[in-house]
A and B are shown apart, each in its own frame.
Chain A
Amino acid sequence: MNTRKVLYQFGYRRCADQDRPSPARHPVVVVGAGPVGLCTAIDLAQRGVPVVLLDDADRIGEGSRGICYAKRTLEILDRLGVAEPCLEKGITWKIGKVFQNNDLLYAFDLLPEDGHKMPAFINLQQYYLEHALVERAATLPNLEIRWRNKVIDMQRSNDGATLTVETPEDCYNLDSDWVVAADGARSALRGMLGLAFQGEAFEDRFLIADVKMKGDFPPERWFWFDPPFHEGRSALLHKQPDDVWRIDLQLGSDADAKAEQAPERVIPRLRQMLGHDDFSLEWVSVYTFQCRRLERFVHGRVVFAGDAAHQVSPFGARGANSGIQDAENLSWKLALVLKGEAPESLIESYELERSAAADENIGHSTRSTDFIAPRSAQELRFRDATLSLARHAPFAKRMVNSGRLSMPSIYETPLSTPNLDHWSGSARVGAPLPDAPMRDRNGKSIWLLEALGGEETILHVPNGAPPPNGHRVFVLGGDLIDERGLFAQRFDASPGSTYLVRPDQHLAARWRHATPSMIESASRRMRGFEGGPA
């Protein structure tokens, strides 16, 4: 069951670097063509930086692995040109339900308002996302993917690193100004630098099965505590494309991983859960979870991202989502540094912002795992007390934790300029902008985030005074029309309001009445020139 079928096969091809007398030098080498490495490489290439992406394999295998992609991730994928195939294929959902035994304890809606281009979540097998990213990468002339190119050694220097790469034919060396290590939870590059990967391991084993069947469950996330079909444990059900359902069953800490994966063991469990046996098993795996991280993500010119830098339990869908957010945070900064438009110290803000995000994700995922898999009799008592109180008192419902689903981090960062004025609405300095439906100059419908793309932008609400100068300025009512008034509402906009948006669509600064020097200073600060990390 665990030998993975090959779904997409790519070819190894000899590259010119293998025949050079001395190592070729590249601005950026990204190691690992999973979702995080691919997003980083595409983002950099879109920003005009030539990228080499190395991967030790030459295929995408089956096994759905990461399946939940959150709104913010979809917004990033949209900017990278792959949201459309993902949305088309994926299962859109926003409702979660939590059951105890047969009873619905509560339901939650992850996106209770409309007027956003992207849904709260889609479920999509990771291989479809990877395939869409590989196809997108192939359209970028400055992005070169080298399959079956395995990094076997890395020597760091002050201005980059030398990688020794093994191919089916030979070994060759590559010099790079920057290396992005996106080589996953078992990162070889992390090992080469001898870096500790510290944190907490959880003893409970979980069975993950992908089951193919025609089911009449709605596209919602269903979580059970102590379900009748799996007494004393927990279960999770999620719909994926192609009539595939993800089932996640808690097995306990004493389960035998090998025995539990055997079809004669798995099938009766699933039959009990589904109430029939009109299904086929696509993929099954037994997991234990770890929550851990590198102490630092940036080591000179080698930068770690995604699972190579931090690992979480799957409750909350914080693995791939946070990794893709790492990719976007790093890419614009690296592009500016490589173009000489920002000081190298800007990369330190990646460390600061994404390290805080990793801690937030690890915190949420650890607390969820504590609730789902209590480790002592008293932990279990507290958990069961919460579940039974939840039927009587609203406070206990909020304590029930079946996974807190991935939300983007709000950066407390020296790149932000603190508010001088009072603001309401949902926009926050340090957070990604809330989306809103707009019209462009020609009356064509456009989403705010589409219009922004990946460039530093000033949004300005006119008040009779000349609009501000800047890298790129959109005047509301002219360049962008706030058709339904949702921009005004979400940004608490009034005449004169001015917003500075980062290249990753996070809000850097806002003013009720901005002066040119305020905007200039905030823009420099955002690029790491002043008030930046020491």
Chain B
Amino acid sequence: MSTLVTESRLADPDRSYRALIEAHRGLSDEDSAALNSRLVLILANHVGEHAVLQEAIALAKQSMEAAKDTSP
């Protein structure tokens, strides 16, 4: 069973990041949230493994806690 890859995999990370930004540019917060929800579902299906999805959720939550800990 594969595990979540956290090493960089994208050939041009800046370009992919930019694609996400562009997708959201000009959208209201509500539309952005709706777009993200769709993206999460599409990407989760593409990942195709429940265990990897769980790891991704855990990593996301962990980074949020870390952000709270370091905020003043």
Contacts and interface: CB of A to CB of B under 8 A. Distances in A.
Interface stretch (B5-13, B15-23, B32-40, B62-70): B32-40
Interface residues on B, range: under 10
Contacts, number: 27
B3 interface: no
Given A385-B34, A385-B41, A396-B41, 7 more contacts: A381-B33, A381-B37, A382-B40, A382-B41, A384-B37, A389-B41, A393-B42
B33 to A, nearest CB: 6
B54 interface: no
Nearest to A398: B45
Interface of A: 377-378, 381-382, 384-386, 388-389, 393, 395-396, 399
A385 B37 contact: yes
25 contacts: A377-B33, A378-B33, A378-B37, A381-B33, A381-B34, A381-B37, A382-B37, A382-B41, A384-B34, A384-B37, A385-B34, A385-B37, A385-B38, A385-B40, A385-B41, A386-B41, A388-B38, A389-B38, A389-B41, A393-B42, A393-B45, A395-B45, A396-B41, A396-B45, A399-B41
Please indicate which of the listed interface residues B34, B38, B42, B45 has the most CB atoms of chain A within 10 Å of its own CB: B38
Interface of B: 33-34, 37-38, 40-42, 45
A395 B41 CA distance: 9
A389 B37 CA distance: 10
A221 B23 CA distance: 39
Nearest to A388: B38
A389 B41 CA distance: 9
A528 B26 CA distance: 67
B24 to A, nearest CB: 14
Contacts of A393: 42, 45
A386 B33 CA distance: 13
A386 B34 CA distance: 10
Contacts of A399: 41
Contacts of B40: 382, 385
B42 A389 contact: yes
A152 to B, nearest CB: 49
